[in-house]
């Protein structure tokens, strides 16, 4: 697919000679900035911390960084509550720091994708503050979704809707004269009022934001809650039960409405003003069959596919997931994306080490967002072993691999966070039922000792467990079989071996009998990836071993192991 610029004179070139298709098979590393590296010692990771670790990212061999929100924020939702879309949070840096960081990344050949959060602002955004001061029916209120309450004095919310983080989706405001007033919609926390995308000003402001960061050199945007922007709320709101029963086929009042793509067509025009065009990747939790639209060349260009993340660690599940998603990618003309971990889910080393849910509805590996991995039944070694096999499988696939900071260290979810230290709004809004996502957001261990394991000169904003020591970059750097070195080798090979974005499934001679547990595919250029999902070893297929997820000490492929082989 080529994104041809329609603008007469494309405005900037971020990296000389950049291939406009660079994203198709990129390995993209997600940085959750507040937990990556802290240069100024305030306990919160920052942009200068990222700049200081560009060498690490280069050695790791990633093609791009996706930076989670770094905008001014009260951190009601880890930065996804944005006060100002065109600035940097003072706690983590300045615009100048941003410029230094991006030029450091670009000089190392690493592109930058920034997170953009268009479904909602924070409740401290100047627009929302203005809406609170303005009267009912005013243009300032029209940028958000305000409604009168039900009941005699409007004391009941406009509907019984619940927010995604738990608790009610409507919050009542106090009018400027001090009386209880209208209610506003927030699909997430109450500090995240939903924007009204029927308002033209909202469109214009985001186009301005896209140009602001594009002009500063960013290479693309990860679009938060991309399927939620367009809403069509009738005068008589349906109940939550009715909403839940409404098919998400393009006409649901809130999610995945067809007209959301009109927004992305406008964004695409902005992307194409640049040479090479900027890229977009949609975070859209939609029915898989509806994903290609987000990923189309007229739209954002790519969309996250979370199917692998949700698949159980089984050959058939992985095969079906990959085959289906490659077909979908072909439909959109985009490349597929692959994700095993991110800042919203329990780390995959932990997911794969947890037993199936008690009700048997979910298989091992799929019970994510479950108690932050606090289960005493966690089999940590099994989880890590499977995670390494799954990661190596993922990195061999055609398409873009989105990696999450710390997975290259084989980190488990941190379960031992005291309640008093928890930050995630899902913990506060669903008391008792979910500990939330803090366990995958604990600051990275860079060294094996020290106040915050090298994260910064002092403390870390979330407590790090003692076992981080053995997982630190320092501990793994020179250990040949470490998870870090497996990722480094695989990422380097991925660049060297990269060809057409296709694969061919193959049956291996000698794997009969165990074939239901062994999955193998060939990539163009004569190399194959073989994963043994079973627990028993199988004969090692012929070929030169390029990288494996476990040490190979004899002519066997151990259980729960992936190997890449060059065919003779
Ligand atoms: C982000 C979450 C965030 C939510 C609300 C997402 O899907 O990935 O971290 O809490 O949007 O912005």
Residues 518 and 398 in one domain: no
Residues 470 and 355 in one domain: yes
Residues 347 and 214 in one domain: yes
Q: Is 349 inside a domain boundary? A: yes
Q: Mean pLDDT, 10 residues at a time, over the chain (568 residues)? A: 37 60 97 98 97 98 98 97 98 98 98 98 98 98 98 97 94 97 97 98 98 98 98 97 97 97 98 97 95 96 95 96 95 95 95 72 41 69 97 98 98 92 88 84 97 95 96 97 98 94 87 76 96 95 96 94 95
Residues 236 and 356 in one domain: yes
Q: How many Å from the N-terminal Cα to the C-terminal Cα in the chain?
A: 33
Q: Is 496 an annotated catalytic residue? A: no
Q: Is 512 inside a domain boundary? A: yes
Q: Is the pTM of this model over 0.75?
A: yes
Q: Which entry of 273, 413, 438, 501 is annotated as an active-site residue?
A: 273
C-alpha of residue 329 to centroid of ligand 1, in Å: 24
pLDDT of residue 431: 73
**Residues of the domain holding 177:** 126-185
- E strands along 178-326, which residues? 180-185, 220-223, 279-282, 301-303
What residues pair up with 172 in beta bridges, in sequence order?
A: 183
pLDDT of residue 553: 85
> Which residue among 68, 70, 71, 77 has the greatest number of ligand 1 atoms within 8 angstroms of its CB, and so is best to mutate?
77
Q: Is 191 inside a domain boundary? A: no
Residues 550 and 437 in one domain: no
Q: Is 194 inside a domain boundary? A: no
DSSP string, 488-553: HHHHHHHHHH--SS--EE-PPTT-TTSTTTEEEEEETTTEEEEEE-SSS-EEPPSSEEEEESS---
For residue 117, the ligand 1 atom closest to its alpha carbon is 12
Q: Is 195 inside a domain boundary? A: no
Contact 305, 281 (CB under 8 A): no
C-alpha of residue 285 to centroid of ligand 1, in Å: 11
CATH of the domain at 335: 3.20.20.80
Contact 500, 524 (CB under 8 A): yes
C-alpha of residue 80 to centroid of ligand 1, in Å: 6
Q: What are phi and psi of 220, to 5 degrees?
A: 180, 180
Q: Is 145 inside a domain boundary? A: yes
Q: Is 296 inside a domain boundary? A: yes
Residues 334 and 446 in one domain: yes
Bridge-based pairing state of the strands 27-31 and 400-404:
parallel
Contact 99, 88 (CB under 8 A): no
pLDDT of residue 365: 39
Residues contacting ligand 1 via CB (< 6 Å): 77, 80, 117, 188, 224-225, 283, 343-344
The total number of structural domains that make up the chain: 3
CATH of the domain at 509: 2.60.40.1180
Residues 304 and 254 in one domain: yes
> Which residue among 224, 226, 368, 437 has the greatest number of ligand 1 atoms within 8 angstroms of its CB, and so is best to mutate?
224
Q: Roughly what angle, to the nearest 10 degrees, separates helices 260-271 and 200-215?
A: 30
Residues 140 and 265 in one domain: no
C-alpha of residue 221 to centroid of ligand 1, in Å: 15
CATH of the domain at 137: 3.90.400.10
Residues 113 and 134 in one domain: no
Q: Is 413 an annotated catalytic residue? A: no
C-alpha of residue 421 to centroid of ligand 1, in Å: 20
Residues 463 and 329 in one domain: yes
For residue 80, the ligand 1 atom closest to its alpha carbon is 12
3-state helix, strand, coil in the chain (%, to 5): 30, 15, 55
Q: Which entry of 89, 224, 256, 501 is annotated as an active-site residue?
A: 224
Residues 334 and 458 in one domain: yes
Encoding tokens for residue 4?
């041809």
For residue 81, the ligand 1 atom closest to its alpha carbon is 12
Contact 278, 64 (CB under 8 A): no
Which residues, 6+ apart, have CB-to-CB distance to 552 below 8 Å? 540, 545, 558, 563
Domain boundary (460, 486, 512) is at 486
What residues pair up with 531 in beta bridges, in sequence order?
A: 519, 562
pLDDT of residue 563: 98
pLDDT of residue 31: 99
pLDDT of residue 360: 44
Q: Is 2 inside a domain boundary? A: no
Which residues, 6+ apart, have CB-to-CB distance to 212 below 8 Å? 85, 86
C-alpha of residue 69 to centroid of ligand 1, in Å: 10
Which residue's CA is minimally distant from atom 4 of ligand 1?
80
Residues 178 and 250 in one domain: no
């Amino acid at each position: 697919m080529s994104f041809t610029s329609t603008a007469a004179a494309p405005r900037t070139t971020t990296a000389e000679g950049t291939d406009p298709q660079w994203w198709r098979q990129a390995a993209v590393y997600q940085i959750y900035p507040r937990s990556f590296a802290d240069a100024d010692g305030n306990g919160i990771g920052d942009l200068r911390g990222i700049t200081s670790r560009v060498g690490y990212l280069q050695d790791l061999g990633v093609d791009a960084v996706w930076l989670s929100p770094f905008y001014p924020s009260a951190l009601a939702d880890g930065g996804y509550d944005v006060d100002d879309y065109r600035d940097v949070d003072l706690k983590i840096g300045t615009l100048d720091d941003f410029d230094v960081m991006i030029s450091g990344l670009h000089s190392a050949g690493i592109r930058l994708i920034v997170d953009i959060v268009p479904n909602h602002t924070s409740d401290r955004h100047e627009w929302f503050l203005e809406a609170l001061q303005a009267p009912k029916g005013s243009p300032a209120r029209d940028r958000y979704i305000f409604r009168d309450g039900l009941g005699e004095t409007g004391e009941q919310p406009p509907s019984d809707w619940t927010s995604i983080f738990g608790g009610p989706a409507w919050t009542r405001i106090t009018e400027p004269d001090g009386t209880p007033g209208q209610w506003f919609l927030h699909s997430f926390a109450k500090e995240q009022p939903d924007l009204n995308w029927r308002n033209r000003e909202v469109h214009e402001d985001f186009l301005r934001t896209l140009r602001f960061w594009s002009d500063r050199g960013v290479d693309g945007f990860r679009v938060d809650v991309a399927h939620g922007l367009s809403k069509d709320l009738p005068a008589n709101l349906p109940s939550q039960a009715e909403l839940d029963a409404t098919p998400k086929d393009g006409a649901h009042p809130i999610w995945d409405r067809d007209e959301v793509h009109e927004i992305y067509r406008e964004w695409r025009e902005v992307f194409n003003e640049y040479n090479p065009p900027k890229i977009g990747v949609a975070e859209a939790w939609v029915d898989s069959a509806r994903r290609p639209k987000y990923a189309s060349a007229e739209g954002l260009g790519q969309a996250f596919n979370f199917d692998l993340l949700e698949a159980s660690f089984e050959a058939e599940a992985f095969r079906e997931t990959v085959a289906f998603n490659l077909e979908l990618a072909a439909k959109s003309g985009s490349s597929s994306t692959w994700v095993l971990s991110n800042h919203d889910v329990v780390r995959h080393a932990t997911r794969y080490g947890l037993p199936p849910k008690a009700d048997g509805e979910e298989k091992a590996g799929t019970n994510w967002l479950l108690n932050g991995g606090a289960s005493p039944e966690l089999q940590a070694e099994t989880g890590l072993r499977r995670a390494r096999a799954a990661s190596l499988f993922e990195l061999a696939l055609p398409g873009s691999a989105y990696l999450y900071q710390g997975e290259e260290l084989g980190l488990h979810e941190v379960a031992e966070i005291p309640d008093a230290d928890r930050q995630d709004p899902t913990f506060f809004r669903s008391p008792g039922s979910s500990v939330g996502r803090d366990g995958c957001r604990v600051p990275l261990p860079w060294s094996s000792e020290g106040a915050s394991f090298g994260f910064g000169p002092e403390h870390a904003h979330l407590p790090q467990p003692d076992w981080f020591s053995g997982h630190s970059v320092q501990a793994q750097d020179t250990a040949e079989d470490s998870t870090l070195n497996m990722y480094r080798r695989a990422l380097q090979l991925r660049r060297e071996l990269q060809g057409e974005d296709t694969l061919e499934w193959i049956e291996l001679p000698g794997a009969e009998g165990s074939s239901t547990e062994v999955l193998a595919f060939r990539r163009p250029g004569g190399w194959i990836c073989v994963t043994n999902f079973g627990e028993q070893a199988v004969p090692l297929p012929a070929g030169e071993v390029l990288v494996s997820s476990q040490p190979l000490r004899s002519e066997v492929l151990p259980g729960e192991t992936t190997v890449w082989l060059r065919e003779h």
